[in-house]
Amino acid sequence: MTEPLLRERTLGQILDETVEKWPDQEAVVYVDREYRQTWREFSEVVDRLAKGLMALGVKKGEKVGIWATNVPYWVALQFATAKIGAVLLTVNTYYRSHELSYLLKQSDCENLFLIDGFRDVDYLGTLYELAPELRNQERGHLKAANYPHLKRILFLGLEKHRGMYSIPEIMALAAMTTDEEYKARQAELSPHDVVNMQYTSGTTGFPKGVQLTHYNIGNNGFWIGEHQKFTHKDRLCLPVPLFHCFGCVLGVMAAVTHGVTMVLLEGFDPLLVMASVDQERCTAVYGVPTMFISMLEHKLFKRFDFSSLRTGIMAGSPCPVEFMKRAINEMNMREITICYGLTEGSPVMTQTRVGDSLRQMTETVGRAMPCIEVRVVDPETNREMPRGQVGEVCCRGYNVMKGYYKNPEATAKAIDEDGWLHSGDLGVMDEEGYLSITGRLKDMIIRGGENVYPREIEEFLYTMDGILDVQVVGVPSRKYGEEVGAFIITREGVTMEPEDVKDFCRGKIARYKIPKYIAFLESYPMTASGKIQKYKLRELAGRMFPEAMNQPGA
């Protein structure tokens, strides 16, 4: 390979190189609405969006939030913001008012794109409720009492809404920005500028804004694609959420760095994924294990042709070996790869490679990516553990985040003085450098690939009248890996039912965070020093709610 292992490029420069190489090849496809763009057409939309945002006054370094499913213009906005030096702030589509309000305040977000809603969440209604000033103030000049930094609300679609600019209006404003101004803005940018910010609970505390640079995600995406042997002839079916690193880095950046056609789905639907793979002759498909399971066990699975498939990624949570083997054999994904990492690591630190053994593909999460050091350390002493012994997984390299936004204390806890990013996961490395994840150092819950931090839910439930104390733990689940369980001690004289707690949560926190299993206790198991023994609560949950493991739909 003549290119250096790491490339100093902004996302805009990466896109421009791809457009120059393959201008007339398809870049973006939506099967369900016959939406197709070549790389040249996609690039033109990116430039018009970018110029329109500049005309509205979006400056370098401003955050541009995006609260939307994988709709058309999502990926274009990822590159439009990058080209003008703005920071794309991705918002979890499952967020409700409580979580969105926290994110807008903590991030100092200046701009927010949104769609009308998702499932039972009315995004527009939520914004008008949080910022009622939006209904009667001049567009682009919002002054919201609760969000002093917020200036502009923009609609990621064609429709017009009070107080918001629509996509066609933003595109029309592009004429107000000259080519010279646009080029001058791009000339100001460095690959080491922050380009993406994602909120994650990580391993400690409330959600924190992970700041990622062009250099972080551009290089990580490139190597993720290299390990799948991507070329411009590949077609990637992408049903995973773009607001996650899985979508916008493992998916979009791996594709754009290699000229791969992106076959996007607005949301996951097993039938639509299978139809997209079949119709578009996709060579790769991504998903968390539950997505692959729902396809493999679908009653219409055998009606679809998967012969075009070759590779893809299964990630987000541990995959049952039996389903990995079925993906290889029944979906023809003989070169499927597994990735492991965390948002703070841009995100991938290890990946299996094409040509790895079945054992390595099914029982490990691969080996270190190029230019990234991965080691397993003793959590107490920080010394590297011998091969074959369990310790905390850490990494160091170009992929480590710039830091948590406005949170130097949390940054210092995550990245030690020698530059090692601590994952909070426990793992073991074999003699060949292949890593297996064995558990978690902290008590974070992973539900179907979504990180759920118990303390965040506990703090929220403390605001419910009648609750004296609450402890949230993971309940083993056959379908999701883990479900959220809550053990509650009520105040004296208070009678409460599990459904009361769920009703309190609905509409205020994301659906996946709402405890599925709820039990009421008189006291918690304690250590001699008075610390609550959460591991005993997890054991109790396993005994109290065995249906979680016994029912496929649990």
For 406, phi then psi, to 5°, come to 50, 35
Residue 399's contacts (CB-CB under 8 Å, 6 or more residues apart) are 216, 219, 220, 341, 345, 346, 347, 348, 349, 369, 372
pLDDT at 3: 61
Report helix, strand or coil for 499: helix
- Judge contact between 509 and 472, C-beta under 8 A: no
From CA 207, how far away is CA 210, in angstroms rounded?
Answer: 9
* Secondary structure letter of residue 334 according to DSSP: T
pLDDT at 370: 98
**Cα gap 79→49, rounded to integer Å:** 9
Distance between the two ends of the chain, CA-based, in angstroms?
Answer: 48
Helix (H, G, I), strand (E, B) or coil at 112: strand
Q: Report which of 94, 145, 159, 90 is spatially closest to residue 120, judged by C-alpha positions.
A: 94
For 73-217, list the strands marked E by DSSP.
87-90, 111-114, 117-118, 121-122, 152-155, 164-166, 194-200, 208-213
Strand duo 467-477 + 481-490: pairing = antiparallel
Query: What does pLDDT average to in each consecutive run of 10 residues of the chain (554 residues)?
Result: 81 98 98 95 98 98 98 98 98 94 98 96 97 96 97 97 98 98 98 97 71 98 98 98 96 98 97 98 94 92 98 84 89 97 97 93 94 94 94 97 97 97 93 89 82 84 91 89 93 94 96 95 74 81 81 46
Q: In which element (H, E) is residue 14 found?
A: helix 11-21
Return the percent helix, strand and coil in the chain, to nearest 5: 35, 25, 40
Respond yes or no on whether the N-terminal peptide bond of residue 347 is cis (omega within 30° of 0).
Answer: yes
Q: What is the 3-state secondary structure (H, E, C) of 402-424?
A: CEECCCHHHHHHHECCCCCEEEE
pLDDT, residue 64, reads: 98
Q: How far is CA 517 from CA 313, 514, 542, 548, in A?
A: 31, 9, 11, 9
What is residue 531's predicted lDDT score, i.e. its pLDDT?
60
Between the alpha carbon of residue 299 and those of residues 233, 286, 422, the distances in Å are 31, 21, 42
CA dist 261 and 276 (Å) reads 13
Environment class of residue 532 by beta-carbon count within 10 Å: exposed (0-12), middle (13-18) or buried (19+)? Answer: middle
Structure tokens given for 386: 């011998």
Q: How far apart are CA 265 and CA 242, in angstroms?
A: 10
| Angle ∠(80,255,177) on CA atoms, nearest 5 | 15
Greatest CA span in the chain, whole angstroms? 74
Residue 254 main-chain phi, psi, to 5 deg: -65, -35
Distance CA 429, CA 432 (A): 8
Can you read off the two tokens belonging to residue 335? 């070169």
Torsion sign, CA atoms 276, 279, 280, 283: positive
Per-residue pLDDT, 53: 98
The single-letter DSSP state of residue 513 is: G
The pLDDT, as a whole number, for residue 363 is 87
Pairing type for strands 235-238 and 261-264 reads parallel
Tell me the domains of the chain and their CATH numbers: 445-550 (3.30.300.30)
pLDDT at 468: 87
pLDDT of residue 201: 67
Q: Identify the DSSP state of 302.
A: G
Q: What is the distance between the alpha carbons of residues 290 and 193, in angstroms, rounded to a whole number?
A: 35
Provide the pLDDT for residue 297. 87
* The pLDDT value given to residue 529: 45
- 8 Å CB contact between 255 and 14: no
Contact 266, 218 (CB under 8 A): no
Radius of gyration for the alpha carbons in the chain, expressed in angstroms and rounded = 23
Please give the DSSP secondary-structure letter assigned to residue 316.
Answer: S
The whole-angstrom separation of Cα 496 and Cα 125 is 30
Q: Give the β-pairing of 311-314 and 261-264.
A: unpaired
- Residue 286 in contact with residue 236, Cβ under 8 Å? yes
Cα 74 from Cα 78, distance rounded (Å): 6
pLDDT at 1: 43
| 142: its two tokens | 């919002």
What tokens were used for 372? Answer: 């990234």
